[in-house]
Structure 1
Amino acid sequence: MDIPRTISTSSSLDEISASYDDVPIIDSTSVPKRLLGRKASLDLMMTEVEWKEESRVLVLYTGGTIGMVRNDRGNLAPIPRELETNIRRYPHMHDQLYASNHYGDSTNAPLVLPECREARRVVYWVYEYDPLLDSSNMTMDDWIRIAKDIRGVYEMFDGFVVLHGTDTLAYTAAALSFMLENLGKPVIITGSQIPIFETRSDGRDNFIGSVILAGSYSVPEVTVFFNNKMYRGNRTTKVSTGRLQAFDSPNMSPLATAGISIQVEYRSIFRPRTLKKFTVHDRLNRNVGLLTIFPSISTEAVRSCLQPPISGVVLQTYGAGNMPTNRTDIMQLLRDATKRGVILVNITQCLHGAVDSIYETGQALLDTGVISGHDMTPEAALTKLSYVLSKSNWDYETRKKMMNTNLRGEMTLMEYSNGDDGNTVGLDIFSAITRALQLSSEEDIETVKDMVIPTVFFTAAVNGDITRLQQVYKSGIEINLQDSSGWTALHMVVKDGMIEMVTWLLEHGASVHIRDKMGHSALTIAVHHNHHKIIKLLVQTGAHLMESPHKIGETLVAAAASDNCYCLTSYMLAGADLSYTDPCGRSPLHAACTVGSESCVKILLAAKVPTDVRDQTDLTPVMCAQINNHLNLVDLITSHEEKMDSLGR
C-alpha cells in the first residue's frame, strides 16, 4: 500500500511527521496519517529558556468527543486544526501573559497552564493527527503510530497526553502499555463525554487534570484519567455510555485521585526495575480474537474462532473461569488448538474478580492447555496476546510463560509472604522514638512514621547501608521521595559516586527523569561531578540531558577553554553534542584551539565535531589556533580533515 508523503493544505500547522514506511500495514482499512503541529513553537523549546521552573508536555490529539466544536449548523463535530486555536482563548487552559513573557507574544508560543498547586509551570504543545478519527475506526496501525510518535520526541518532554474517543480508549491504553517498553515517563490517555468547549464539560477537567499529572507527577505508566481518577491503562474498561464516570478499574484502585489536591498512590505504581532504556515494540499480531462462551454455543462457532491464521484467542468464560465440561466437542477443539500452537487465555465474563481453577470446570480448561488470564480485562488480555505473539524471538513456551507473567501490572498474581510483611521492618530508630513519645494511637504512630522513615531512608542511602535501605523499602516508601531541595535518594548517591547504591536504586524503580528545584536530574549531577561510570549506567537506563543546547554549549566552551577534559568526556558520555556553541557562536573546538589544549582537541575530533564552523567574528577553529601560534593543533586538525575526506565523510 502506497502511503502519501505530502498532502496540500492551507493550514498554518506544519507536518511534524508523515506515516512511517518502515512498519508494514497490519490492517488494510487503516487510514494513513500525518502529525500536524507548529514547528516554530517546538523550536522555541531549544532556546535559552530554562527548564528549571517548567515541565513540558506533548498532547497528541487523535480525535473524539473531547475536541469537538460547534460547526456552522450548530452541530458538534471534530473540526481539524481548531483545537489549539480554541484552547488559546480560554484563560483557565492557557496563561497568555506567562507565554508572552517567556516565549514571545505570538501564536507560535507554546500553551501554558495557569499557576496551580504543583511546583512547576506546565508548558504544553498540542499536535493533532490528520485525519482525525472517531475512535471506533481506530486500528492496531494507529496504536503503533502513536507509540512511534512518542518515541520520536521522548527526550524532549516530561510527559505525554493522548486525547482519544471513548469507545476504544481502553484498548489503546492497554496496547500502549505493552508496546512502550521500560517506560520512564507518564503517558496519559483521556477523552470525555462532553467536549472541552461546551459550557458544561467533563472534557475540560479531564484535559487539565491529565496535563497537570503528566507534567508534575512521576507515574511512569500508561494510564487513563477520567472524572478525576487516574487508572492503570491496562486495568481500565468502559462501563457507561452516558455517565461522566465512563471508565472504571474493576479489580484495582485508582493510581491517583484529583480532589482539592491530587493524591497519588505511589505504592501502587508499576515501575520499570531494569537497567534498560525506553524503547518501542512497533509490531503487533492481528491474528487474535475474543470468544465469549454462552449456553448451547455451537461447535461450528468455536471451530471458526480457532481456525488458521488465528494464533491466539481470549476465552471469556463463566464466573471464576468455568466451561461446560459436558461439551466434550468444545473441549477437544480447545485441546487440538493448543497442540497446533494456538495460545488460549481464559478470563472471566464478570466485571469483578478473577479466574480460579478451584472448580472442576475451571481445572478442565487448564488440562487442555488453556492459560489463566487471572483478572485481566478483555482489552488487556487481547492486546497483551497481540503483543506477545508479535515477539518473533520468543518461542511458543516463552510466549505462554509471558502471557502468565505480570508484564505491566495488568493482572493480580497471588504473592506469598516469607513471614516478613514489610511493615515490621525492624527499624529500631522508629521503634525507639515511638516508645519515647509513648505513642499509642495508630494515627499518631503513622504521623511519626511519615516523618521518620524518609530520614532513615535518605540516611541509609548516603551511608551505603543496603540492609537498612531494603528494610525501609519493604515498608512501602516511595522510592522517588524528594527532600526540600527536590533531591531524591538517587541524586544523593550519584553525587557521592556510590555506583553500588545507584544500581540498587535503579533496580528498585528509581526514576532517572526526576529533576530537583534547580532543574537538575541525577544525570546532570553525575556530569557535574565527572562520575563517568555512573553516567554510563544512567544513560544505559534511559537518562538523558535536560538542559537547553545554549546552556550546554556555554558549559562545553568554558570547559575547553580551561583544558577540562573530564567535563568534555562527561558530557560526551551523557549524549551531548560537543559541537554546541555559546552565544558568540564559539564551539568547544574554537576554545580549545585558542588556549592550545591538545587533549581537548583530540577528544573533540574523536567525537567528530565539525571543524569548519565559524564564530561571530568569522573565525574557524584552525584560524584560532594559527592566531595563537598553536601550530601543532593546526597540523592535528588538518590531518583529521584529510582522514575524514579520504573516508568520504
Structure 2
Amino acid sequence: MSKKPNILLVYTGGTIGMIKDYKTNALKAFDFSQILEKIPELEQLNCVIKSISFDVPIDSSNMNTLYYKDIVSIIEDNYHDFDGFVILTGSDTMSYTSSAISFMIENLQKPIIFTGSQLPIGDLRTDAKENLITSIEIASARKEGKPIISEVCLYFEYKLYRANRTTKINAEQFEAFASMNYPNLAESGVYLNFRDHYIYKPSEERKELIIRKNLVTDILILKLFPGITEKVVKSILNTVDLKGVILESYGAGNAPDEVWFLNLLKEAISKDIRIINVTQCSGGNVIQGHYETSIELKQIGVVSGKDITTESAVAKLMYLLSENLTLDKFTYYFEKPLRGEISDK
C-alpha cells in the first residue's frame, strides 16, 4: 500500500489566513497549526498536512524579493520530506510572487500550488475553504506513483493555472485571476479534471534541484500612453543604477516612432540596460516588425516579450539580469520558454 503524500502548507500572509473576532469584529491571523480543527473536511483528503507560517504574516502589498527568498528557502529545506507544497499569499501580488518562484527553482519535480482568497477564511461566504481544500487535493494528486503536477501553479475559483501565465483581473469577484495566453491546467467541478496536454512533463532523468536566489531589482515598468513626453521618458531611463525596463507598448508591440523616443531607447541599450517589449493588452502577442512602428524597436535591440505577462516579464528580467549575459544571449534566453512562461514560436 502506497504511503499518503506529505503536503506542506506555507502561510506567508494575506486575506485567506484571517478570521474575524466576532466580539470586536476585527480580523486577526489564523493559527494554521489548528487547521484540521477549523476545517475538518481536510481529514477526508488522502494526505498528511503540516504547516509553516511566517513569524509575522505580511500583507500582499508589502511582498518583495526578500520574501521570495524566504519562500524558496522553506521549499529548499523541506523539499525531500514533502511530496507537494501549497503556498498561501495575498492575491494582489500573487501573480508576481508565483511567477518569480517559478524562475528561482530549476528542475522542479513536485507540485507548488499558490492560492489565497478574496474573503477571510472565517467569513460565512468565504472562498477560502474551497481554494485551500482543492489546492491541497491537487498537490496530493498522483498517477502511477508520480505527481500529476510538477510545476508552479496558481489555483483560484475552480481553476488551476500555470502561475507564470496569470494576471489578477478582478478585485471583487471570486474569479480573480485569468490566464489569457495559455489554457488552464485543470478545472474543479463535480470531478477534478486535469488537462494533461497542457501540463508540464518533467524529464524522466532525475535532475538535481537548483535554487537561484539572486535577483536584480534595479528595474522598472514604463507604460506608454498617447502624449507621453520626452522629458518623462528621459528621466525614467536615467534612473540611477537602472538595469532593465519592461516597456508596455500598444497592441502587437507598437510604440511611437518619433526620433527622440527611439534615440532615448538606443542610448539606454548602449548602457547595457535591457528593454523588454510587452503588450498592454490583456491577451495577445508582441510581434516586433509586424507594423512599421515596431520595426525600429527590433533593429535597435529591444527584446520581444512575445505573449509573456507583465508580471512574468518582471520576474524573468530580475532572474536573467543576475546571470550577466551579453545582449545576444540575454535576448535568446528571454525569448525562449524556460518555465513555460512564453510561447515557443
Q: TM-score, normalised by structure 2?
A: 0.94
Unaligned stretches of 5+ residues in structure 2: 143-147
Equivalent residue of 2:113, what SS? Answer: strand
Shift of 1:237: 0.5
The match for 1:253 is 183
- Cα distance in 1, alignment partners of residues 35 and 274 from structure 2: 48
- Asked if the contact 1:78–1:132 (Cα under 8 Å) also holds between the matched residues in 2, the reply is no
Shift of 1:73: 4.7
- Asked if the contact 1:374–1:412 (Cα under 8 Å) also holds between the matched residues in 2, the reply is yes
Q: How many residues align?
A: 337
Q: For CA contacts below 8 A with separation 6 or more, give which structure has more relative contact order.
A: 2
- Asked if the contact 2:219–2:243 (Cα under 8 Å) also holds between the matched residues in 1, the reply is yes
> Which of 198, 211, 221 is the aligned partner of 1:280?
211
Shift of 1:248: 0.7
Superposed, 1:109-258 pairs within 5 Å as 114-115=44-45, 121-217=46-142, 218-258=148-188
Equivalent residue of 2:187, what SS? Answer: strand
Determine if the alignment matches structure 1 residue 290 to structure 2 residue 240. Answer: no
Q: Summarize deviations over 1:15-49 as a string: whole Å, max 9, x none.
A: xxxxxxxxxxxxxxxxxxxxxxxxxxxxxxxxxxx
- Asked if the contact 1:68–1:76 (Cα under 8 Å) also holds between the matched residues in 2, the reply is no
Single out whichever of 84-93 and 139-148 deviates more from structure 2: 84-93
Change (3 A) 1:167 1:401: same
- Asked if the contact 1:197–1:204 (Cα under 8 Å) also holds between the matched residues in 2, the reply is no
- Asked if the contact 1:64–1:133 (Cα under 8 Å) also holds between the matched residues in 2, the reply is yes
> Which of 56, 61, 77 is the aligned partner of 2:11?
61
Superposed, 1:465-484 pairs within 5 Å as none
Equivalent residue of 1:174, what SS? Answer: helix
- Cα distance in 2, alignment partners of residues 348 and 74 from structure 1: 46
Q: RMSD over aligned Cα, in angstroms?
A: 1.6
Shift of 1:271: 3.2
The match for 1:404 is 335
Change (3 A) 1:252 1:258: same
Equivalent residue of 2:54, what SS? Answer: strand
Shift of 1:412: 1.4
Q: Summarize deviations over 1:372-423 as a string: whole Å, max 9, x none.
A: 000111100011000000124x444322221111111111132xxxxxxxxx
Superposed, 1:428-443 pairs within 5 Å as none
The match for 1:341 is 272
- Cα distance in 1, alignment partners of residues 225 and 68 from structure 2: 31
- Cα distance in 2, alignment partners of residues 262 and 86 from structure 1: 23
Shift of 1:201: 1.6
The match for 2:145 is none
Q: Could you say which structure has the higher strand fraction?
A: 2
Amino acid across the alignment from 1:85: Q
- Asked if the contact 2:335–2:342 (Cα under 8 Å) also holds between the matched residues in 1, the reply is no
Q: Summarize deviations over 1:421-468 as a string: whole Å, max 9, x none.
A: xxxxxxxxxxxxxxxxxxxxxxxxxxxxxxxxxxxxxxxxxxxxxxxx
Determine if the alignment matches structure 1 residue 365 to structure 2 residue 297. Answer: yes
Structure number, greater radius of gyration: 1
Shift of 1:219: 0.9
- Cα distance in 2, alignment partners of residues 200 and 294 from structure 1: 40
- Cα distance in 2, alignment partners of residues 124 and 155 from structure 1: 15
- Cα distance in 2, alignment partners of residues 204 and 76 from structure 1: 20
- Asked if the contact 1:228–1:259 (Cα under 8 Å) also holds between the matched residues in 2, the reply is yes
Equivalent residue of 1:126, what SS? Answer: strand
Shift of 1:199: 2.0
- Cα distance in 1, alignment partners of residues 214 and 243 from structure 2: 15
- Asked if the contact 1:59–1:124 (Cα under 8 Å) also holds between the matched residues in 2, the reply is yes
Equivalent residue of 2:6, what SS? Answer: strand
- Cα distance in 1, alignment partners of residues 208 and 87 from structure 2: 22
The match for 1:606 is none
- Cα distance in 1, alignment partners of residues 184 and 86 from structure 2: 18
Determine if the alignment matches structure 1 residue 88 to structure 2 residue 88. Answer: no
- Cα distance in 2, alignment partners of residues 285 and 73 from structure 1: 46
- Asked if the contact 1:57–1:157 (Cα under 8 Å) also holds between the matched residues in 2, the reply is yes
Equivalent residue of 1:380, what SS? Answer: helix
Amino acid across the alignment from 2:33: E
Query: What is the percent sequence identity of the aligned residues?
Result: 36
The match for 2:242 is 310
Q: TM-score, normalised by structure 1?
A: 0.51
The match for 1:355 is 286
- Cα distance in 2, alignment partners of residues 63 and 338 from structure 1: 38
Amino acid across the alignment from 2:126: S
Shift of 1:83: 2.9
